[in-house]
Amino acid sequence: MVTKIKIQLEEIGLQLDASIFPIVMNGGLVMSSKPSILNLTLDKEQLNERKTRSEKQTDQPEIPRESPRPGGEPSYSSPTYSRTSAQTGGTRTACSTSSFALNSTDDTLYAKLSEVQLAYPETTIYRQEEMFWLRVESLLLPGLGRKAIFILAVIPKFRKIIAWGYWSIWSIGVSWIGPRHTNYPDGSMCAFDMMDESWQYGDNLVKLLDFYTVWAVRHLYLEYFDRWPGPQASSSYVERNFEFKDDECCGCPMPQGTYHNCCKPNDIAKITPTAALSFWIFSKRDQRHPPSDITNFARLGINPPRLELFC
């Protein structure tokens, strides 16, 4: 990775650790926000490290903590506060595309989906009898040499959207983004918390794609720095012990710095062989991957799956 890109990625990670959501530009380009007051409880070493990176600090809205979805799945949520045009350098609000009503007709919903292309120009919409598919490309960081591809299944019948993330690397091809922070067992993205109403079916679609874009950047950070940046959560002490690294945010209801300095000692003490085996069976760790039809659609951009895949 080019040093300049790595520095930018590191800064985004540091700000996510401070619950500061980055700016998402048109096309899915991500840049760090202005320095801000830290609103997480941090170790002295962490606090000093961040102070050396920022002398001026301004208030930012606090980002909701991530909390588990039903079934103990980890999830991540953060609102986008501004959106910048990568083409013109101008600014507009993140929610300039409107929300759609839960009782929208197919034609109305199709029009709202089309509005997404203003913020994510490399978006292709496929309309089927009972659902829509979106194949969205997100640039992530300038000069990165790869981009993210998001596959969204929009199912009005079930009032839900299911999405998968993929890397598209010029010289290699398409590969699934995971397994951290993906759902069991289909490998779909877990990028926000449905329980805290960060995003619900019918809300603004650009905001949803911004969640996905930052989720992919977090995976990129994990790849290069071997830790997940920013708040995360799990109500399962077994899951935390299996998946959380010592220097990541703890994820308990009242985190006190890193997992190592917060809940790890108690989690280890509570884990029994039976509990560990039960979680391992539940999570199906070796089977967490997307359906092959989804992967082929991400790779080729043709022949989207039918609704029967989700029934």
pLDDT digits 0-9 by tens, 26-66: 999 999 886 543 343 334 444 344 444 433 333 333 333 33
Among the listed residues 226, 261, 265, the one whose alpha carbon sits nearest the alpha carbon of residue 44: 261
Per the domain annotation, does 26 fall within a domain? Answer: yes
User: 39 vs 181, which has greater pLDDT?
Assistant: 181
Per the domain annotation, does 254 fall within a domain? Answer: no
Tell me what pLDDT residue 90 has.
Answer: 36
Per the domain annotation, does 243 fall within a domain? Answer: no
| Chain segment 117-145, per-residue pLDDT in tens | 999 999 999 988 889 999 999 999 999 99
User: 106 vs 158, which has greater pLDDT?
Assistant: 158
Residue 82: pLDDT over 60: no
CB-based contact 199:75 (threshold 8 Å) = no
Per the domain annotation, does 171 fall within a domain? Answer: yes
Which range has highest mean pLDDT (101-110, 214-223, 251-260, 277-286)?
A: 214-223
Residue 110: pLDDT over 60: yes
What's the CA gap between 248 and 174, in Å, rounded? 28
What's the CA gap between 275 and 283, in Å, rounded? 12
Counting the structural domains of the chain, the total is 1
Q: Which of 84-88, 116-120, 295-299 is least confident? A: 84-88
What's the CA gap between 182 and 289, in Å, rounded? 9
Domain hosting residue 191, numbered range: 3-234+289-310
Distances (CA, A) of 112 to 31, 54, 135: 26, 40, 15
**Residue 131: alpha-carbon gap to chain centroid:** 23
User: 190 vs 135, which has greater pLDDT?
Assistant: 135
Tell me what pLDDT residue 309 has.
Answer: 74
Distances (CA, A) of 136 to 75, 262, 296, 304: 21, 38, 15, 13
What's the CA gap between 217 and 198, in Å, rounded? 19
Instruction: Report the mean per-residue pLDDT for the chain.
Output: 77
Residue 262: pLDDT over 70: yes
What's the CA gap between 206 and 98, in Å, rounded? 9
Task: Show the tokens assigned to 203.
Answer: 């809300």
Tell me what pLDDT residue 93 has.
Answer: 39
Residue 71: pLDDT over 50: no
Q: Which of 11-20, 160-169, 246-255, 285-294 is least confident? A: 285-294
Tell me what pLDDT residue 289 has.
Answer: 86
Per the domain annotation, does 265 fall within a domain? Answer: no
Angle between helix axes 44-53 and 3-17 (nearest 10 degrees) is: 130
Per the domain annotation, does 280 fall within a domain? Answer: no
Per the domain annotation, does 118 fall within a domain? Answer: yes
| Chain segment 93-106, per-residue pLDDT in tens | 343 445 665 556 67
Per the domain annotation, does 269 fall within a domain? Answer: no
CB-based contact 176:189 (threshold 8 Å) = no
Task: Show the tokens assigned to 255.
Answer: 């985190």
CB-based contact 143:2 (threshold 8 Å) = yes
